[in-house]
Structure formats: structure tokens, C-alpha cells
Amino acid sequence: MTDWDLRRIPSAYWVVGALLLMMPAISSNFILFSIFGWALILGMIALSLMFLGGYGGMVSLVQMTVAGVAGYMTAILGDSAIDAISLGWVWWLAVPVAILIAMVFGTLSGALAVRTEGIYTIMITLAIATAFFYFARQNYVVFNGFSGFNQILAPEAFGVNWRNPVAFYYLALFFAGLAYFAVLYVSRSPFGLALQGIRDNPRRMAALGFNVTAHRIAAYTFASLIAAVAGVLLVWQTSSISPGAISVGPAIDILIIAVVGGLRHPVGPFIGAIIFVLLRTFALDALVAVGLAGERFQLLIGIGFLVIVFWSSDGVLGLWQRWRDRAGRTDPLTGQQKDAG
């Protein structure tokens, strides 16, 4: 069903695409690097959760950890300020190997989690995330314990210094876009359809000849690839990785981002991520501006998410969908029109 026709691309794609590509012309380096760069990366990690949760019905809290493993491996195999540990491989060797290791880690986590359902999947993946956090914090030989690694810098490659905010913005945008369209595409492939079938009815899928367990594990592998790429970008963005980046808090943040954005379509995690990053970055200033104590910014973030989830159990996408339904049109983003395949 891959009949390409430019006219079939919804107008929202043109508008959002053009806006994102022109962003460097209209925003500061801070906005590009610390707002959009960060949001695109968090969006990718949340996208990997959306793929598992939205299409596979598996809520995994291990996605941040998979990204963290990729980040740690980038630091350990490549360059960082911790000379005693970092092996100093060139980036084109260190990065693919780091991603591969993270995918193996994510796949093994999936293999442990897929035989369980619902709350138990959440518990097992949370347990793996917590175990890895404590391991990294207490292991000084490989993971450099509490302080982790710093000065992990994006390389200069193809004549571009990817540390430059504009270059990094395009790098993050490229991979986020790639991940977004990959998920959208795979959702209509036999693999993605089967995953949705397993979400709706695992028993029937087995009765149609599908190996449900193998299929679910493969979904974790695919999701791990997205999370791992995001993990490498994340250490380049913050130029550091430490246990704090993969503790329970960030793992829950990814869940919040995905749920607030909406799990029904791959655009949801990115919407959730931009809201999350904006709140995280500006809540403090906003409070001070209206004369309140700045240290209450976490409260403002919490209330913001509460409001969204209260009004729509399906996140911002759900709100959007309802608004469009009321306006009596089909939604170009969530592709609810029947010929979307």
C-alpha cells in the first residue's frame, strides 16, 4: 500500500515540517539546543515507549535505561574526561557498537518482561531500570560510579562540528524524523499489524500461527534501536552521563511524556516532550515573574500534567481529536481517515 502521492500528505505535515526546518532562522541557540534538541531526544525515547505501549500494549519503564546504556557505552568506548576508563575509539566505531549493546540490553529486558501482562510488565521493567541504576552508581571500574562521565562531545564529521547548536538541532531533527516515520511505516507493516493484533488479542494471534512471545521480544528490539539512538544524542547534548540521568525519576518522566502527549499516534510523544521541556525550563521563571517562590516549580509542572490527563485520558492527542471531532473533520495527524493504509 505504498502508493506515493504528494497530495496524500496532509497539509499539517507541510506546515510543521517547514516550521521545524526554518527554526534556526527564528530562534536562539539556547532554544535550538536546550529546548528543541532536548525535546526531540526525549520525544524519541518516549516514542520507543509509545511503540511498545500504543501498538503492543506493553508499558515498559526500561526505555530510559536502554537510552542510558547507549549513552554510557558511547562514553566508555569513545572519548570522555575520564581517560582511565574511556577507550577512545573513533565515533564511527564507538557509536554503532554502543547502539548494538543497548539493543541487546533492551531485547534481553523485553525477553524477561513479555511473559507478563499489565502491571507486572511495569514492575519487571521498573526493577530492571532500578537495578541498572544502582549497578552503574556503585560500579567504579566500568561506570565510574556516582559521578559518571563528562566531556562526551559530539564528533566533528563530514566537515561539520556537530557540537554547534544549529548542526546539533538538525542532527536531532533528522533522527527524530527518521524514527517518527519509521514507526509510522512499521505500524502498517505485517510486523506492526501483528503487534497490534497481539495487543488486542494475544490468544487469537497464537491461534493464527503467530509466535506471540517472539513477536513481543522483537518489538522491544525495534523500540530499543530508537531509544539507543536517542541515548547517544542525549550524551552529546548534555556532554555527560551519570546515574542520575537513568534513575527512577527520568524513567517515570518518559512515561509521563508519552502519556501526556498521547499513545495513539507517534506524534504524541513529541508533543508531550515539548510540553515537558517547556515546563521544566520555564516553570521556575514563570513563578518568580508572578511573585511566587521559584522553588515551587515542580508543583506547577505536576499541576500542568494533571490538568492535561484530567481533561483527556488520551493526552494532548485525545484533546486534539475531540476538538476536531467537534469541528466535524477528520484529523490529519492521527490519520483516522479510512484510506490511511
Partner 1 sequence: MVTGTPNRSPATGTANALELRGVSRLFGALAALDDVTITVMPGEKRAVLGSNGAGKTTLFNCITGDFLPTSGTIRLFGEDVTNFPAHERIRRGLRRTYQISLLFNGLSVLDNVYLACRGVSRSRFSLLRPRRSDSLIHSAEELIDAVHLTDLRDNLVAELSHGQQRQLEIALALAGAPRFILFDEPAAGLSPTERSDLIEILTNLPEHMGFIIIEHDMDVALRVAESVTMMHNGRIFKEGRPEEIEEDPEVQELYLGGGHE
The residues binding partner 1 (CB under 8 A) are 1-3, 185-186, 188-194, 196-197, 199-201, 203-212, 215, 218, 338-339, 341
Nearer to partner 1, 26 or 208 (CB): 208
Q: Nearest approach, Cβ of 336 to partner 1 (angstroms)?
A: 10
Q: Nearest approach, Cβ of 48 to partner 1 (angstroms)?
A: 15
- Residue found under cell 546504556: 69
Please name the helix (run of DSSP H) or strand (run of DSSP E) that holds residue 126, with its range, or none.
helix 119-138
Backbone angles phi, psi at 232, to 5 degrees: -65, -45
Nearer to partner 1, 3 or 83 (CB): 3
Q: Nearest approach, Cβ of 338 to partner 1 (angstroms)?
A: 5
Nearer to partner 1, 207 or 290 (CB): 207
Burial of 78 (0-12, 13-18, 19+ CB in 10 A): buried
Please name the helix (run of DSSP H) or strand (run of DSSP E) that holds residue 157, with its range, or none.
strand 156-157
Other Cβ atoms less than 10 A from the Cβ of 22: the count is 10
Q: Nearest approach, Cβ of 4 to partner 1 (angstroms)?
A: 11
Nearer to partner 1, 85 or 206 (CB): 206
Q: Nearest approach, Cβ of 187 to partner 1 (angstroms)?
A: 9
- Residue found under cell 484533546: 319
- Cell (9 digits) for 177: 524524523
Distance CA 230, CA 280 (A): 19
- Cell (9 digits) for 120: 507486572
Q: Nearest approach, Cβ of 43 to partner 1 (angstroms)?
A: 21
Return the DSSP state at 164.
S
Nearer to partner 1, 196 or 238 (CB): 196
Nearer to partner 1, 39 or 212 (CB): 212
